[in-house]
Chains A and B, each alone.
Chain A
Amino acid sequence: MSQKQHQQEKQEQLPQILVLGPPLVYKNHEHEFAKRFQILKPWESSLPIHLFLSTYCGSIQAVLTSGLFKITADGVLCHLPSLRLIVTTSVGLNHINLHECRRRGIIIANAAGVSSEDVAELGVGLLINVLRKVPAGDRYVRTGIWMTNGHYPLGSKVGGKRIGIVGLGSIGCEVAKRLEAFGCRISYNSQREKPSVPYQFYSNVCELAANSDALIICCTLTDETRHMINKEVILALGKDGVIVNIARGAIIDEKEMIKCLINGEIGGAGLDVLENEPLVPSELYAMDNVVLTQHVGVHTNESVSDRFEAVVGNLEAFFSNKLLLTPVLNY
């Protein structure tokens, strides 16, 4: 057998996976994936996606997807009759038709816990940057205004602020841990009270807001949490209050929040996510008390690398019939 044939045979012995997206984690580690798996890449084909899937993916058991690719029942899942595992490089599952997956008994593995620190530290960074007006200060210096004006408005102290964490999961806990070191007082709202944590629990997010100086949104987007941060909650937070969102844009009623920002009914906002990314409401551009980042919570070298390890680990476990690293239970 020739070298090439040998290689080809070796390739063909590798387990097959379908990649959808493709996710950044895949793009940055393409060679590593190729060493371990046979990859089906719909984006390299001229066929429309449903045709590619129905033609080539009949025996596909495992899919690797980004958090943005919509895995629908009619457009995707119906063309993958042998599908048993979906590995998503995101933590969120909103892009997957969970009802259909449940019906078919498809296992889902995500990146939960893998990049909690990256997201949490961005949340803390956004809070400090809003309170201490860092991007606005940076603009002030770069545009030469400091030279001529010399008087920059005062910021607000971080320490001692009451922080309300919405959703005390892995990310919420990392946020709490960090802000405690600044002398902040932590309380939270969650689906269920967690007796093992030392923070004050509020069963109602409005009450949490009324007793906080800043809200940090760290929960998942579900039917219950969609627009959970509404006008009532925002007004309860108050005119010096700050909202930081490192979860999903749709958890906040964006239109209401913008109105409140315009009317000075809330102090400021640090937003890594928006309802209709990448569309940004232009009213936000002029606001100095708002800091905007483009969904970069997990956009670090370390996170991409850590998520690569998790994804490969899950896929390899699946193909050797071992326990998955990060399966989503009870979705």
Chain B
Amino acid sequence: MESIGVLMACPMNPYLEQELDKRFNLFRFWEYPSKPEFLKSHSQSIRAVVGNTFAGADAELIEALPKLEIVASFSVGLDKIDLPKCKEKGIRVTNTPDVLTEDVADLAIGLILATLRRICECDRYVRKGLWKKGDFQLTTKFSGKTVGIIGLGRIGMAIAKRAEAFRCPISYYSRSEKSDCKYKYYPSVVELASNCQILIVACPLTEETHHIINREVINALGPKGFLINIGRGPHVDEPELVSALIEGRLGGAGLDVFENEPHVPEELFKLDNVVLLPHVGSATIETRQAMADLVIGNLEAHFLKKPLLTPVFSGKSVGIVGLGRIGSAIAKRADAFGCPISYHSRSEKPNTGYKFCPSILDLASNCQILVVSCALTAETEKIIDRKVIDALGPNGILINIGRGRHVDEPELVSALLEGRLGGAGLDVFENEPEVPEQLLELKNVVLQSHVGSDTVETCKDMADLVLANLEAHFLKRPLLTPVLGDI
């Protein structure tokens, strides 16, 4: 694998760098004074990008790397990666979930205690020799305070578990209420902020959550309230936060992240009721090693054609033959299951967000579930032949809701019998109602009797259309759904 070009977006971890260097042809992006020059010379050899919370893979970089196959992020957050662009180009993305959950949750509690009990300020005070001069001011206790968490994912839940040990009642805000959850749900962030004393940001950064902490939320949290941010800087309207802290409209804040790291608003430096950290949520020796091992593991899995360890697009990859009305409807549904979608069509369709494959063999090689949904024509007869079936492979699944003659049926049967194809879901057959007997014994096959549109509602709609077309014709009105136009 030493010839595979891997581009590291910025310095992030010496151990990771060293291990990548050992295995791949590593390019350190920051070492090249002219990025455009670098890309001109090396873009054809780069097949992977390793990014993190500071630098990832934006649209510009992705476009500049035509051979890019995978982006492996040394983080769990994906806000620096253009995910739709990756989906569109069929580029795989991995991140480092779970291994850093505990560290980030630990730090959230550490920040809460440091902020409420003023540990850093006290430490400064003692080091200045001021202990002799008198008592430190009274602080406020953490145990028992109401905690509100924005985003109850892995990190949010880990924070809740720790806060519960401090006797804190927990409430949360999430896009939707979670069933089986013992914590109190609030349908809006403002309501959550009005009803808790310590508000913690623990959700992913997306367009919707940008500036989720705004003036209204800060005011609702109030002069006795505390904000803890272990999410992303842009979650918070930073100028609003700064003025609220200076004016005393907010009790205090513990911040691990900022809108424009490493820039931190200087007004915060003079404040005693804030604790500021240089984005160290997952910065422990143990966790950074585990994250690095995940990045390496994912890259190796990809290039050795094994399953990825922590793929972001976690659904199975779906390949659609024919992206017409039916194909698009299938794509939309599969997308909702988190499946990366690719398709083959006579010509590429603009702005679908899905990856186009100019050859069906290409499509079959790069997906796990192949769905036939094109029209049956002379070209598409037996479009699913031995070559395509072999490309789909022993872990692949064929779904046919097109026409039986799209598939070379004897080839399909032998592939299934010999285990060269993983399974099939078939609604249509070459000679309906005859179905090859050998299929009847197989457990990895589902057979339907051409029922694709067989619902009460749809059959009625279809019948109505037939009747309406006939009436239109004989009443000399325009046909409703002509296939060939009125001549």
Contacts and interface: CB of A to CB of B under 8 A. Distances in A.
Interface stretch (A29-37, A137-145, A308-316, A318-326): A137-145
Interface string A226-240: 000000000000000
Interface in B100-114: 102-103, 106-107, 109-111, 113-114
Interface in A134-154: 134-135, 137-142, 146-147, 150-152, 154
A121 B166 CA distance: 8
Contacts of B140: 300-302
Given A152-B280, A291-B119, A303 B164 contact: no
A138 B276 contact: yes
Contacts of B285: 154-157
B344 to A, nearest CB: 46
Nearest to B285: A154
B312 to A, nearest CB: 25
A139 B125 CA distance: 13
Given A134-B277, A138-B120, A296-B122, A121 B262 contact: no
B314 interface: no
A59 to B, nearest CB: 33
A259 interface: no
B10 to A, nearest CB: 10
A128 B124 CA distance: 17
A278 B109 CA distance: 29
Given A152-B278, A294-B136, A158 B131 contact: no
B122 A132 contact: no
Given A147-B263, A157-B287, A280 B131 contact: yes
Contacts of B165: 177-178, 180-181
Contacts, number: 175
B142 interface: yes
A277 B132 CA distance: 8
Interface residue tally on A, bucketed by range = 35 or more
Interface string B164-197: 1111000000000000000000000000000000
Contacts of B275: 134, 138
A183 B286 CA distance: 15
A294 B128 CA distance: 12
Given A118-B141, A141-B278, A182-B162, A154 B269 contact: no
B126 A294 contact: yes
Given A117-B144, A118-B141, A292 B123 contact: yes
B138 interface: yes
Most B C-beta atoms less than 10 A away, residue of A24, A122, A293, A303: A293
A307 B107 CA distance: 30
A105 interface: no
Contacts of A302: 140-141, 144
Interface string A106-140: 00000000000110111011101101111101111
A246 to B, nearest CB: 12
A178 B122 contact: no
A104 interface: no
A10 interface: no
A296 B284 contact: no
A63 interface: no
A140 B278 contact: yes
Given A128-B106, A150-B262, A157-B287, A293 B141 contact: no
A142 B114 contact: no
A125 B162 contact: no
A137 B281 CA distance: 12
B152 to A, nearest CB: 16
B112 to A, nearest CB: 8
Interface of A: 24, 117-118, 120-122, 124-126, 128-129, 131-135, 137-142, 146-147, 150-152, 154-159, 177-178, 180-183, 277-280, 285, 291-294, 296, 299-304
Sort A-B residue pairs by CB-CB distance and give the 7 closest, nearest first. Answer: A125-B113, A181-B165, A128-B110, A278-B131, A141-B276, A293-B122, A117-B143
23 contacts: A24-B135, A125-B110, A125-B113, A125-B114, A129-B119, A131-B284, A134-B111, A134-B119, A134-B275, A135-B120, A146-B262, A152-B278, A156-B284, A157-B103, A157-B106, A181-B164, A182-B106, A292-B123, A293-B123, A294-B125, A294-B131, A294-B135, A301-B139
